[in-house]
Structure 1
Amino acid sequence: MSRLNKECLPGQTPQLPPGFEFLPTCIGFEKSLSLYEHLATTLSWQQPSITLFGRTSPIPRLQCFIADPSVSYGYSGTQLNNTPWPDVLRAMRSRLKREYGQDFNALLVNWYRDGQDSMGWHSDDEAELGLNPTIFSLSLGATRAFKIRDKQTRETVTLPLSTGSGLLMTGRSQHDYQHALPKQAGVTQGRINLTFRTVG
């Protein structure tokens, strides 16, 4: 088993709060790793800077924003540049529409190159996403610890997201909770995360 394969093994699934549904096998193991390699080498990756608490710095990961031409979206003071839908992701989008009845028109892709790349605590609660957004997240590559935190009690749940697994966030998930992907020592391989969303 290769090093990448070893770092893609699933972990234990905890009980999740309302609005979060874990889908352990959306794509088969080998297919998910093949898609990881394909996206890593074909997408137009960028590393934009954002301003938080008055400080501007590059985000600790690479990013690609794929969306319909009419979509305008940004966060933390940064406007994202649209990239056209690649065929493989357009097909995935169509499948998700059939599965969930959701017309996703945008896809934010993050590439965490190793355990030093991360995402801080946040909610996907931008006005462009609507009152109760539905967001579908697909993980490819190394298993990473996804954190969910109750905004009131600060209670935290850790969900290992392995390659090919999905996470559906609906209802009040963005109102009542924050989520993050912290740095993770010992992870030497990359993880690509696709988050399908509806903007506007």
Structure 2
Amino acid sequence: MLNLFPEEKITLDLPDAIVEYYPNFFSKEKADELFALLDKNTPWQQDTITVYGKNHPQPRLTALFGNEGKPYKYSNIIMNPHPWNSTLVHLKELVEVKANHHFTTVLLNRYRNERDSNGWHADNEKELGRDPIIASLSFGEERTFQLKHNTLKEVKQSLILKHGSLILMKEGSQIHYKHQIPKTTSPKNARINLTFRTIL
């Protein structure tokens, strides 16, 4: 039994975008099980990114799964997908029902500790289309998720992404906003994030 709680939905009060947060998409027991499965069975890798002309190890581990022939490019990294496994197909189907949207790929991120992060960005690569819908599952350590509007500088929001939660970034979210998972000085255990996208 998955023990989903679909009625627990928080719609963020944001202009120009629809962002929905489901803090208890999975029960703690199911989220614990999924974290262990994903942590053990994912072929994690650490790519090199180029920032201001200098190469740096990406501050987290990643893995891409998806439909055959659909690579994903971001930050001068090109990732070719592993074939879907049964766990990821199951999660994709659950998320697709909630999002009412079909996804073709999932990028897994493993934040090992408080020093791992994901800086300000939008998921606005051209292969995602003009106004993509992004779904993000979180397992493991709670981390702060931040949003800021591109032109309305006073519009900012922070959210603690809980173990077993789902956030849906829908219409307008990648056009008008950037988001990040910042580093922190507080000690943090591992977090696994699954970000579902549709590559056109």
Same fold (TM over 0.5): yes
Deviation at 1:192, TM superposition (A): 0.4
Question: Unpaired segments of 5 or more residues in structure 2?
Answer: 1-9
Aligned residues: 188
CA distance, structure 1, for counterparts of residue 117 and residue 86 of structure 2: 28
CA distance, structure 2, for counterparts of residue 92 and residue 102 of structure 1: 13
CA distance, structure 2, for counterparts of residue 14 and residue 187 of structure 1: 29
* % identical equivalent positions: 36
Deviation at 1:187, TM superposition (A): 3.0
Q: Could you tell me which residue of structure 2 aligns to residue 175 of structure 1?
A: 175
* Alpha carbons 1:14, 1:157 under 8 Å: kept: no
- Matched residue of 1:139: which SS? strand
Per-residue CA shift, 1:32-80, capped at 9, x if unaligned?
A: 1221111111100000011122121111000011111121211111101
* Alpha carbons 2:11, 2:20 under 8 Å: kept: no
Question: Unpaired segments of 5 or more residues in structure 1?
Answer: 1-12
What is the RMSD of the two structures over their aligned residues, measured on CA atoms? 1.5
* Alpha carbons 1:139, 1:166 under 8 Å: kept: yes
* Alpha carbons 1:107, 1:197 under 8 Å: kept: yes
Residues 106 and 15 from structure 1, CA distance in 2 versus in 1: closer, same or farther, beyond 3 angstroms? closer
CA distance, structure 2, for counterparts of residue 87 and residue 46 of structure 1: 21
Q: Could you tell me which residue of structure 1 aligns to residue 162 of structure 2?
A: 162
Per-residue CA shift, 1:86-113, capped at 9, x if unaligned?
A: 2111112122333333221100010001
Q: Could you tell me which residue of structure 2 aligns to residue 151 of structure 1?
A: 150
* Matched residue type, 2:199: V
CA distance, structure 2, for counterparts of residue 33 and residue 16 of structure 1: 30
CA distance, structure 2, for counterparts of residue 198 and residue 96 of structure 1: 13
Per-residue CA shift, 1:128-176, capped at 9, x if unaligned?
A: 0011101110000011000101111333211000101110011110111
- Matched residue of 1:186: which SS? coil
Q: Could you tell me which residue of structure 2 aligns to residue 56 of structure 1?
A: 55
* Matched residue type, 2:130: L
Q: Could you tell me which residue of structure 1 aligns to residue 68 of structure 2?
A: 69
CA distance, structure 1, for counterparts of residue 162 and residue 23 of structure 2: 8
Q: Could you tell me which residue of structure 1 aligns to residue 37 of structure 2?
A: 38
Deviation at 1:14, TM superposition (A): 9.2
* Matched residue type, 1:143: E
Q: Could you tell me which residue of structure 2 aligns to residue 124 of structure 1?
A: 123
CA distance, structure 1, for counterparts of residue 151 and residue 175 of structure 2: 11
* Alpha carbons 2:22, 2:166 under 8 Å: kept: yes
- Matched residue of 1:171: which SS? coil
Taking CA–CA contacts closer than 8 Å with sequence separation of 6 or more, which of the two structures ends up with the larger relative contact order? Answer: 1
Deviation at 1:16, TM superposition (A): 3.8
* Alpha carbons 2:138, 2:192 under 8 Å: kept: yes
CA distance, structure 2, for counterparts of residue 41 and residue 129 of structure 1: 29
Q: Could you tell me which residue of structure 2 aligns to residue 135 of structure 1?
A: 134
- Matched residue of 2:110: which SS? strand
* Alpha carbons 1:142, 1:187 under 8 Å: kept: no
Q: Could you tell me which residue of structure 2 aligns to residue 7 of structure 1?
A: none
- Matched residue of 1:38: which SS? helix
* Matched residue type, 1:40: D
CA distance, structure 1, for counterparts of residue 144 and residue 60 of structure 2: 16
Q: Could you tell me which residue of structure 2 aligns to residue 9 of structure 1?
A: none
